[in-house]
Amino acid sequence: MLTTHEERRLLDLLMLCHSTKEKSDFDAAHKVLCRLLPHTKCFVGIMSTRNKNIKYHINYGFTDEFVQRFLLDQSTKCELLLGNWFDECLPIFHDLNLYEYPRHCHALKRELSKYGVQNILTHGVMDIGKSAASHFIFTNIEQWNEHTKHIACTITPILHSLISSVYFNEKVDSSPICGIMLTNREQEILRWISRGKTNTEIGMILSISHWTVKVHIGKILKKFNANTRSQAVTSAIDMNLIIPFNARL
Confidence (pLDDT) at 173 = 47
Confidence (pLDDT) at 202 = 94
Q: Which domains, from first to last, does the chain contain? A: 4-170 (3.30.450.80), 184-238 (1.10.10.10)
Confidence (pLDDT) at 103 = 61
Confidence (pLDDT) at 144 = 94
Phi and psi angles of residue 47, each rounded to the nearest 5 degrees, phi first: -125, 155
Confidence (pLDDT) at 11 = 92
Alpha carbon distance 23, 45 (integer Å): 12
Confidence (pLDDT) at 47 = 87
Alpha carbon distance 130, 224 (integer Å): 20
Q: Are strands 132-139 and 92-95 parallel, antiparallel or unpaired?
A: unpaired
The sign of the dihedral angle between the CA atoms of 126, 36, 23, 140 is negative
Confidence (pLDDT) at 174 = 43
Confidence (pLDDT) at 204 = 93
Q: Which helix (H) or strand (E) holds 241?
A: none
Confidence (pLDDT) at 177 = 43
CA distances from 92 to 68, 123, 245 (A): 22, 6, 29
Segments in 93-145 forming alpha helices (H): 106-114
Low-confidence ranges of the chain (pLDDT < 70): 83, 99-105, 128-129, 171-179, 244-249
